[in-house]
Every structure is written in C-alpha cells, then in structure tokens.
Structure 1
Amino acid sequence: MNSEKIITAPSGYFALLLFFVLGGAAGYYFAMGHPIIGAAITLFDIIIVLSGLIIVNPNESRVLILFGNYLGTVKSGGFYWVNPFTSKKKVSLKAFNLNGQQLKVNDSVGNPIEIAAVIVWQVKETAQAVFAVENYLQYVNIQSEAAVRHLANSYPYDHIEDETASITLRGGAEEVSHMLEKELNERLGRAGIEVIEARISHLAYAPEIAQAMLQRQQASAIIAARRLIVEGAVGMVEMALAKMTEKNIVELDEERKAAMVSNLLVVLCGEKAVSPIVNTGTLYH
C-alpha cells in the first residue's frame, strides 16, 4: 500500500512568466515568416508550460501520478507548476459531515429499533484514500452504516430489557459515541480517513413495538414510585408508633396497633385525599 509522500512543487508564477515569453516569441516568428518555428514554440508553450500549472486551494490537495507511479501529494495551498504528464487527482482535506439515514435493526436483546448517527470525518492520508479503495466517499457511507448496525446489535436499548447491562444505547450516550468513533476509525483507517466525531442522532423503538414499550416503561416507573412511597410510609408509621410509645401518649394493644398501622398506610399510600371519619365510641363497640 502506498504511503503518503508530501512534496513541494515549484512556483507557478515563473512558469506563467515563461508562458508569456514563449507566446511572444511564437508571435515574433510567425510575424517574421517562420510559421514552423512559431508553431513548435506554441505547442511547447501549451503542452509543457501551460498544462503543468495547477492551483491548490486551502484545505485541498493534489495527488500526482506519473504513468502509474505515485509521485507525491501537494498539500500546501498556492499556485504551482508540476510535470504536465502527471495525473492530478484533487482530494479535499475539509471536514465532511455525514448525516446517516435511519436504520431499522435489532438491539442486543432482539428488540427492533431505529437508529441513525452523525459522523464528522476528513481525509488524512491522501495516498490511501486514492489507491486503497475504489471510491473513498462511497466507502465511508457503507462502512459507517455497517458500524452503526454493529453498535446497535452490541447493546440493549435500555435497562428495562437488560438490567445487568453496564452500557445501554439510551443511557450511555458518551460511552456509545466513544465506541462508535473507535470502531469507525478502525474501519476507515484503511482508506486514510480520520473520524473527528461520531454521535447518535436518532434513537427510538420501531413503530410496531413503540406503544408496547412505552406502556412497559410507564408501568416500571409506576412500580418504582409505589415502592418508594411504601418504603416511606412504613418508615413514617414506625416513627409514629415509636414516638407514641416513647412519650407514653397512649397504650396500644396489638389489635389497636394493627388498626392504626392499617389506617396510616391507607392515608399515606392512597392516590387521593382521604375523608377522615371521627369514631366517638371505642374500637370494640
């Protein structure tokens, strides 16, 4: 595989000056009645001098190939003259933004999800980008899609599906982005591509299971809230009984304690405000 070789080409301004000088000389010979000499100078001026002039814009490069051999890459912006018989392939060094399409894949536990990623990349090794792959733009698109699919297959969507998972697509955004960026650099390194940033831009359950999963999430949230309410209510009841016993407010037998605990739990755990009922008798009448 060819490795990148950066070269410095001669300035094109001297060649441009030579072009005008030879053009004037050709005109002189035509005027003096020597058309053959004038034509020869004109052909040399166009084929050798003019066709060797190139302009390299900022954040662009030119890969030079002479008769199948890689000569080097001009990366510095400017006006240059190079061998006119070389093939001059333009390769952009600017950062590209790939907004991947939404893919429908299965996560690690088999749930169908929709996922898409935004990838920022640029060419670092021009020789590999030109010679290692057929079309590096198409190569980036295909390998990026494959990396996103592999990422989705490696982790569950959420902890609801796999409570033992340390990383999920939904909860581990930073870790998932880091893993995606690492895999993309491994895949695209062959083409001389460096991934600057990669992040998940879209993540959702597939439409056919989205409603069911939403209900499941809501049920899990309700259960968690109820568990917290019950734990708090039990603590408050325990504290109330302890305070009443400590300050000798009232002596309660086991049956009265059970009734009090029942009433307090109903009040503390109920979803709606309770309506108190004043008992003017005793617990036994």
Structure 2
Amino acid sequence: MNNEKAYSPVSGYVMLAIIAVLFIGGIWGLIVARTMWLILPLVISIVLMPGFFFVNPNGSMVLVLFGDYQGTVKTNGFFWVNPFFMKKSFSLRARNFDSDKIKVNDKVGNPIQIGVILVWQVHDTFKAAFDVDNYETFVKLQTDSAVRLLAGLYPYDNFDTDSEVTLRSAHEEVNHALEENLRNRLEIAGIRVIEARIGHLAYAPEIAGAMLRRQQAAAVVSARFKIVEGAVSMVQMALEHLAQQQIIELDEERKAAMVSNLMVVLCSDKDVNPVVNTGTLNH
C-alpha cells in the first residue's frame, strides 16, 4: 500500500453509550453485587476508551495498526476505532510559508537577496506520513533549494535590453517557473502547491549602492534619449510649418541657428533665459 485510502470508523456517540453501560455495570457488580466476574465489563470499558477521537473541519486522522496502514479518516465528527490503532492527525488547511531571505547569485553572478511566499496544503496523508520523515521540514528545505535554483536561471535585471527574462521584470513567467519546480519537488510528500511567488528581491548590501547608481545612470540615459528624440521631431515640425505657411524665409545659416536655439531650449535641464533682440534680424 503506497496510496491514501479512506477508512470508515464507528460513531463515537454509539460507542460512548456502550462503554458507559459496561463501565457502570462493572462498578455496580464490584460494589453492589460483589461478584468478581462482573469486574470484566469494567476492564473492557477501560481498554476500549483510547479508541475515541474526533476530526475537525479540514482535518484528518491517519490510522496504523502494528505498522500496517489502515486508512485515513477525513470526515468531520466524533468517532471510535480499534483502541490499538496508532492515530496521527494531519491538517488539510492551506498554509502560508514565508521563506527566509537567502543570499544567492543570479545568472550573471551578481549576489542578490531573495525570498518566496508559498501557499500549500497536504492532499495525500499517506505520503506526508510515511514517504518523508517530517513533511513540514521537507517543505522548508525544498523551497530553499528551489529558490536557489530559480535565482541561477535568470539575471536580476538587464540594463542593455528588455528582451531577456529577468527576476525583476518577468514576474508572471518567473513565478510560474518557481511554482512548477516546487510542485514537482513536493509531490513526493503529498503536498499540493496552491501558489508560489517571489516575496522579496533585492541586491545584496555589498553591491546595492553600485547597482543603484547604475540603474539611475541607465534611467538618465533613457530619459535623455527620449528628450532628444522629441526635440528633434519638434524642430523638424517647426521648420516644416514655417516653410508651408511661408511666414519667413530662412537661409541655411539661419536655419542652423534656429535649430541650435530650439535644441538648447527643449533639451535644457533648467529654464532658459532668452535674450531679446531689439534690432534687426542681422544685428
């Protein structure tokens, strides 16, 4: 037997009534009738008492008799089974596991800190009870191993192009890969992975400052590129509009001066202070 199977126990209320009758009868026989053979119901009732147990909602009870797996009770209620059964309860509720922030190297070798949030639950009590020593410890260790593997598959960020999948940008793809990895790892312990996602992601402290400056520099370059691109378009549009409306005819030298002035105005970080020419165009 290597799979979970259901077990149907006896109602605890029925057995409670029977054991109560045996117990009271044994006490009566011992005290009132003073007949020694009537002590037998008292002994039987005491032997049967350990067979009682109850199962809460989203709970279960694994039953084993002298090393032989008998089954799992997942029905809620008050029950009685063979008092010689070993009973071990398992919660079937969904649980959250927020892993510790571990330091690993990403795909390009940069040290990063990463942590994950895992939502899981037990779905096969036989595997959780007998295929691993401690299923909760197994979840923690396998999650740690999966995080280390995930970090080595992707770079933290890519400053040169947006085409490559990174830990910081491709959340859906990275989280899906993490979830599939954990699902394969934890199946051996009868664990169902409900959700797995990165909960913490940052550069390691020793390179965080340098990487921040690099990100800022990349952002500045990108912003400047957009500004220059927009300024060129605006200058081109201005020259074409002047030519179409025939507002003023400019030679190449004056076009060059106008382009230079417009580019300075549009690309400058600060407000421009214009110099007003009160003479002619040539002076």
TM-score tier after normalising by the smaller chain length: over 0.9
When the two structures are superposed, what TM-score results if normalisation uses the length of structure 2? 0.93
- The letter of the residue matching 2:89 is K
Paired amino acid for 2:101: Q
Residue 207 of structure 1 and its aligned partner are, at CA, apart by 0.8
Instruction: Tell me how far apart the structure 2 counterparts of residues 175 and 163 of structure 1 sit (CA, whole Å).
Output: 14
1:210 corresponds in structure 2 to 208
| Pairing 1:77-96 to 2, within 5 Å after superposition | 77-96=76-95
Conserved 8 A contact 2:27-2:39 = no
Q: CA deviation at 1:46?
A: 1.2
Amino acid at match of 1:110: G
Q: Name 1:155's counterpart in structure 2.
A: 154
1:266 maps to 264
Cα contact 2:4–2:71 (8 A) shared by 1: yes
The 8 Å contact of residues 109 and 161 in structure 1, kept in 2 or not, is answered as no
Matches within 5 A, 1:175-186: 175-186=173-184
Q: 2:89 is paired with a residue of what secondary structure?
A: strand
Q: Residue 72 of structure 1 aligns to a residue in which SS?
A: strand
Counterpart position of 1:278: 276
What is the CA RMSD across the aligned residues, in angstroms? 1.7
In 2: Cα distance, 1:131 partner to 1:161 partner: 50
Q: How does 1:1-285 map to 2 (within 5 A)?
A: 2-30=2-30, 31-35=32-36, 37-47=37-47, 49-160=48-159, 163-165=162-164, 167-279=165-277, 280=279, 283=282
**Unpaired stretches in structure 2, ≥5 consecutive residues:** none
Amino acid at match of 1:115: I
Tell me the SS of whatever aligns to 1:108.
Answer: coil
Read off the aligned partner of 1:43 and give its amino acid letter: V
Point out where structure 1 has 5 or more consecutive residues left out of the alignment: none
TM-score, reference length from structure 1: 0.93
Deviation at 1:102, TM superposition (A): 0.6
Evaluate the alpha carbon distance shift between residue 163 and residue 34 of structure 1 in structure 2; reply closer, same or farther with a 3 A threshold. same
1:5 CA displacement: 0.1
In the TM superposition, what is the alpha-carbon distance from 1:282 to its structure 2 partner?
A: 5.2
Size of the alignment, in residue pairs? 281
| Residues 12 and 80 in structure 2, CA contact (< 8 A), matched pair in contact too | yes
Give me the whole-angstrom Cα distance separating, in 2, the residues matched to 1:26 and 1:109: 78
- How far the C-alpha of 1:39 sits from its partner, in A, is 3.6
Instruction: Supply the distance in 2 between the matched residues of 1:211 and 1:221 (Cα, whole angstroms).
Output: 15
Give the Cα–Cα distance (whole angstroms) in 1 for the partners of residues 198 and 280 of structure 2. 67
Q: In 2, Cα distance between the equivalents of 1:238 and 1:205? A: 43
- 1:149-203 CA-partner distances (Å, limit 9, x unpaired): 21122112123276441x2211122222222222111110100001112222111
Whether the 8 Å CA contact 1:51–1:84 is kept in 2: the answer is yes
- Secondary structure of residue in 2 paired with 1:89: strand
Q: Tell me the distance in 2 between the aligned counterparts of 1:65 and 1:3.
A: 14
Q: How far apart in 1 are the matches of 2:194 and 2:122?
A: 10
User: In the TM superposition, what is the alpha-carbon distance from 1:85 to its structure 2 partner?
Assistant: 1.2
